[in-house]
Chains A and B, each alone.
Chain A
Amino acid sequence: MTAVIEVSGLTRHYGKVKAVQDVSFQVEEGSICGLLGRNGAGKTTVMRLITGQAFASAGNIRVFGENPVENAEVLARTCFVRESQIYPDSFRGKHVLRAAAHLFPNWDADYAARLVDEFRVPLDRRMKKMSRGQRSAVGVIVGLASRAELTLLDEPYAGLDAVARQLFYDHLLADYSENPRTIILSTHLIDEASKLLNHVLVVDGGELLIDAEAEDLRGTAVTLVGGHSAVEQFAAGRETLGWDSVGGISSVTLTGLSDADKAAALAAGLELAPVSLQQLIVSRTRGTIQPEEATS
């Protein structure tokens, strides 16, 4: 495996605002990497830095082994689609696709036309007259049909309906397996997207909080539900992510449980509930955790 993106000590300040603070990570070739975090956590800024659109205050970025800023070779292999993309006032959907066909060397016009049909994008409508979902669909089509080796999608499906989102997931996976590439996806809909992701980066307050394989991350946390004293006894001395207590029933979310620990918990009469990626991230980004329905 080779790293497509190598970031070390990356920092970006806007005046006193620390949008990105000393972030280091790598993204391996061929991975689908989720860049997750709350609003204002710094996700978009990280993507703008990777694509050379924003300038780093400090630190080092290598994309395909080179500095991306004003680097035509690197940028030609990169596609960055974001929800808030600016379009010229006079541009209609068809103008955007025409421009994208010129800008991306691997553009697949037939594929783009198929996607336009499936997402039902009104190509003759001005971009600024489109609904949020329709604008997002145009962005998604550009992101998929550009077939760029490195594709960054920032909140790509804001405003898309459930059918269109499912279409997007299906197309992303299908096209990914036919045309392998590296994808970075930022989204709020963590649970929906989590089955796509094989790597997860979580940023919070401009800092990198989690950098892990999605598979490893899913296994790290578990919620235990049971009688108050039993739960308290089991949780003593362990790393807890969240507590909840109703009547005599308590639940606690723990990380770092081994299989033996889980067996011991079951033996102690506790119920084990899996913690979804979304719950885990919510709890790790200083929210509270809501246990999923208990399964024994």
Chain B
Amino acid sequence: MTAAATLPGPAAAPHTSLHRMVTTMRVHASNPWTILATPWLVLFAVFALNYAIWQLVKMAATGPLAPGAFTQNGGVSYVLVYMVVVAVQAMNQTFSFVVGLGATRRDYFLGTSLVFGALSLVFGAGISLLAWVERATDGWGIGGAFFAPWGLRTLPIWQLVVIYTSLLLLMFFGGSAVAALFVRWGANGIIAFFIGLALVIVATLYGITVTESWQAVGDFFTRNSAVVLAAYTLPISAAAGVLGWLLMRRATPKG
């Protein structure tokens, strides 16, 4: 063994901030199943079940089915819920593990945000790719729409990428902000948040009613396409990300 190896010092490895963020990403990937394999496997299982039910319905039906009978499906939203759980786990358990072992909160949060961004892109693009296959195969040969159901059926693929990626970002950063409330203030933080959220929603509804703006609100949602509405979630996700960081920078790892 060399002297440098027996007397480890700060010069042993140049650790830049970028390097440390990448380290956090690799720690997340230490168990790639949770964030990469499991969500796809479950999504495929949900799809397989839906496909089987479509076939059942088709076999059982006595007459021709209404056009678009198999296009109203919410199975793909499972991925959104799954990613909320991933975000909550990241703020609770993974934070306590990684910061507990000596990473800074800053490097953890930035590295985790990069993981969230990368996962949003991977799943946003992946689901859109499957939607493209779905269209190319005439709805898996049965006129079904699973990966781009409802109004998404007719949108260009690139818009699907934007919509899914934006929604996933909202799930990740919204989920982590709420989880950060729990990390800092426990159940009371969550209760206060949802009471506050309910107040904000009621106040907004009240304001819209009093100012007789329901027409304008309705117009906003009909005038703007789905992809524009999805883009409107980006500043909300960014704000949730900043809020999450402000909370986590003073958080103490559990255990």
Type the 1/0 row for A74-89, where 1 means its CB is closer than 8 Å to any CB of B. 0111111010111111
Say yes or no: is B196 at the interface (Cβ < 8 Å to chain A): no
Of B9, B99, B252, the residue contacting A55 (CB under 8 A) is B252
Say yes or no: is A99 at the interface (Cβ < 8 Å to chain B): yes
Of A72, A78, A89, the residue contacting B15 (CB under 8 A) is A72
Type the 1/0 row for A26-66, where 1 means its CB is closer than 8 Å to any CB of B. 00000000000000000000001001111100000000000
Instruction: Name the residue on A nearest B102 (C-beta).
Output: A75
Say yes or no: is B6 at the interface (Cβ < 8 Å to chain A): yes
Say yes or no: is A98 at the interface (Cβ < 8 Å to chain B): yes
Of A75, A89, A102, the residue contacting B104 (CB under 8 A) is A75
A contact residues around B102 at 8 Å (CB): 51, 75-76, 78-80, 103-104, 148
B contact residues around A105 at 8 Å (CB): 8, 12-13, 15
Say yes or no: is A149 at the interface (Cβ < 8 Å to chain B): yes
Interface size on A, residues (CB 8 A): 43
B contact residues around A87 at 8 Å (CB): 93, 97
Type the 1/0 row for B1-35, where 1 means its CB is closer than 8 Å to any CB of A. 10000111110110101001001001100110110
Q: Is the CB of A82 within 8 A of B255?
A: yes
A157 and B94 CA atoms in complex are apart in Å by 23
B contact residues around A218 at 8 Å (CB): none
A contact residues around B100 at 8 Å (CB): 53, 80, 82, 85-86
Q: Is the CB of A179 within 8 A of B12?
A: no
Q: Is the CB of B105 within 8 A of A92?
A: no
Query: Beyond A70-B105, A105-B8, is A88–B31 a contact (Cβ under 8 Å)?
Result: yes
A90 and B30 CA atoms in complex are apart in Å by 10
B contact residues around A103 at 8 Å (CB): 23, 27, 98, 101-103
Q: Is the CB of B9 within 8 A of A149?
A: yes
Q: Is the CB of B96 within 8 A of A86?
A: yes
A73 and B103 CA atoms in complex are apart in Å by 10
Type the 1/0 row for B185-220, where 1 means its CB is closer than 8 Å to any CB of A. 000000000000000000000000000000000000
Q: Is the CB of B34 within 8 A of A90?
A: yes
B93 to chain A, nearest CB (A): 4
Of A53, A82, A179, the residue contacting B99 (CB under 8 A) is A53
B contact residues around A71 at 8 Å (CB): 104
Of B9, B26, B31, B105, the residue contacting A102 (CB under 8 A) is B26
A89 and B100 CA atoms in complex are apart in Å by 15
Q: Is the CB of B23 within 8 A of A102?
A: yes
Residue contacts A-B, CB under 8 angstroms, 23 given:
A51-B102, A53-B99, A54-B252, A55-B252, A71-B104, A77-B10, A79-B102, A80-B100, A82-B255, A84-B255, A85-B97, A90-B33, A90-B34, A99-B97, A100-B101, A102-B27, A103-B27, A103-B101, A104-B102, A105-B15, A106-B8, A149-B8, A180-B7
- For the A-B complex with A147-B8, A148-B102, A179-B6 known, give 17 more contacts whose Cβ atoms are closer than 8 Å: A51-B102, A52-B104, A53-B252, A70-B106, A72-B20, A79-B101, A84-B255, A85-B101, A87-B97, A91-B31, A99-B27, A99-B30, A102-B26, A102-B27, A102-B30, A149-B8, A178-B1
